[in-house]
Amino acid sequence: MSQLIACKSPEGIALGADSKAVDVDANGNLIELKVERLHQLSQYTAILNGGAAAGEAMCRALKNFIVDENLNYVDEIHQAALPFMATEYDRFMRKHCEVQPIDPVHQVTFLLAGYSRMDKENPFKLYLLWTKRKLPLLDSDEIGAAFSVPRIIRLEHELHRLTTRNAALDEVMSEVRRGLEQQVDSNQEVSEPLHFAAIYADGFKRI
């Protein structure tokens, strides 16, 4: 249904995502879609959405909210994003889903990435936001160094190895790109176009 990859290093954060999603049409048939899964939220933050195609609209709504609230750094955006996205997801479920518990095709996962001006020793932050069955419908955890959705343990291990030896962000990004391209070649649930970006101390840049 999607593939997200994120890894942080002392120089910044490398992000990668594919564009495939699946949904259910009015006749109950499974359909394939192309969606935008990598979104710049502010000068210093970005979010990746995995799973249901509706995650794209939720991220766009979050970006509009962040602009309206004049938020910029990951600390403040993380605090605001979790309740906001939980509300957006609840609205989506009430509108589109008639059967509970949650159908897997409607589950969403988000990776929030950004730069913090509050933590000088660890300024680059990654957070996982995931679907729950009970209220509140989303929860979050901070990610140590590298994470992929769905999990690719070998890739995460290699990315972690790079970060422990303080590899340059360009090298980390090359590994993220290689891992995502391998998924396109071997996994029919992942497809192009692929999107990559990095977050540095001076802000977000598409690669």
pLDDT at 69: 96
Residues 6+ apart with CB under 8 A from 149: 2, 3, 4, 48, 50, 109, 111, 128
Domain chopping of the chain, boundaries: 4-206
Lowest mean pLDDT among 29-38, 70-79, 169-178: 29-38
Beginning with the edge strand found earlier in the chain, give each strand of the sheet holding 146-149 in spatial order.
Answer: 146-149, 4-9, 12-17, 195-200, 203-206
pLDDT at 85: 92
Please state, for a pLDDT cut of 90, what percent of the chain lies above it.
73
> Residue 112: which H helix or E strand, with range?
strand 108-115
Residue 65 burial by Cβ neighbours in a 10 Å radius (0-12, 13-18, 19+): middle
| Structure tokens, 138 | 């989303």
pLDDT tens, residue by residue, 158-189:
999 999 999 999 999 999 999 999 999 999 99
Q: For residue 84, is pLDDT > 50?
A: yes
Q: For residue 199, is pLDDT > 50?
A: yes
Q: For residue 76, is pLDDT > 80?
A: yes
pTM to 2 decimal places: 0.92
Q: For residue 101, is pLDDT > 50?
A: no
Fold of 4-206: Glutamine Phosphoribosylpyrophosphate, subunit 1, domain 1 (3.60.20)
pLDDT tens, residue by residue, 8-33:
999 999 999 999 987 777 777 878 88
